[in-house]
Structure 1
Amino acid sequence: MRFFRLASATVAVAVALALPYEAAAHPRVKADRVPAGHPTALGTGDDEDADDLFGASCFIRVEDSWVTAYCHNPYPDIDLVRLHVECAHWWDLDSDSRAVAAGPAQTVKLTGRCWQKVRSAWISHQRAS
């Protein structure tokens, strides 16, 4: 009896390790792209002016074929955020959401979906003029 438990546990571990990375990845994905020159980007110093701080922090979650993103803007400038969803299958249409204004100290929710599988999702940022 003990042998069967050990054998089934070994098979389960072997199957989990054999899965492709995309299939084994956790559904919570932090995929916010930071533009070059942004204060949180690599290579920028702390000597930048506080007026240059811009960009909402976003958290993206993928569950099955649904994508949900929450973006919080801690800065005084309005950030126009868009959710971009790329679907895994060639016949499934990719989508880009409309621009949603994330005002100072405001959190906004963006949603998107594919018919079957999501390949990737990301947020784009734009200053409101």
Structure 2
Amino acid sequence: MRLSRSLAPVTVAVCLVLSLPYDALPHARVAARQATAAPEEPFGAECRTDVRGSRVVAYCHNPYADTDRVRLHIECDRWWDLDTDGTPADAGPAQTVRLTGRCWKEVRSAWVSHQKL
């Protein structure tokens, strides 16, 4: 008898916690607060990359108020051809920047990285 009397409050507490809705649990409230936080301001230039043979040209237009530092990265297809990381260029508000680079032979991939100033 004593064992069942000591387990009764624990059993009731466990049942109450398990019957709570998901939103009432503490970790759900933290996630909800993070989801309702103020949205970040839009950022990042829109870039178009064109690969023709061994040459790469990227045009990046920044429609936002913050300056975006963009950089062209090129990965060459041949093992002996050096991959390149171009010099960074600052794309100011409403400004278009042209980035160029090349490989000796074929280009495997090319992409543009962004950095907020």
Please tell me the TM-score bracket, short chain as reference.
0.5 to 0.7
Report the Cα distance in structure 1 between the residues aligned to 2:56 and 2:116, rounded to whole angstroms: 24
Larger Rg: 2
Q: Which AA in structure 1 matches 2:48? A: F
Measured at CA, do residues 74 and 48 of structure 1 come closer, stay the same or move farther in structure 2, by a change above 3 Å?
farther
Output one character per residue of 1:34-62: Cα deviation in whole Å (capped at 9) or x when no partner: xxxxxxxxxxx9x964x621000000000
Task: Say which of 97, 112, 115 aligns to 1:123.
Answer: 112
Task: Say which of 71, 74, 77 aligns to 2:63.
Answer: 74
Alignment of 1:78-117 (within 5 A): 78-117=67-106
Name the count of aligned residue pairs. 82
Report the Cα distance in structure 1 between the residues aligned to 2:70 and 2:59, rounded to whole angstroms: 10
Task: Say which of 44, 51, 66 aligns to 1:62.
Answer: 51
Greater percentage in helix: 2
Unaligned stretches of 5+ residues in structure 2: 1-34
Q: How does the TM-score come out when normalised to structure 2?
A: 0.67
SS in structure 2 at match of 1:98: coil
Identical amino acids, percent of aligned pairs: 60
Q: How does the TM-score come out when normalised to structure 1?
A: 0.61
Unaligned stretches of 5+ residues in structure 1: 1-44
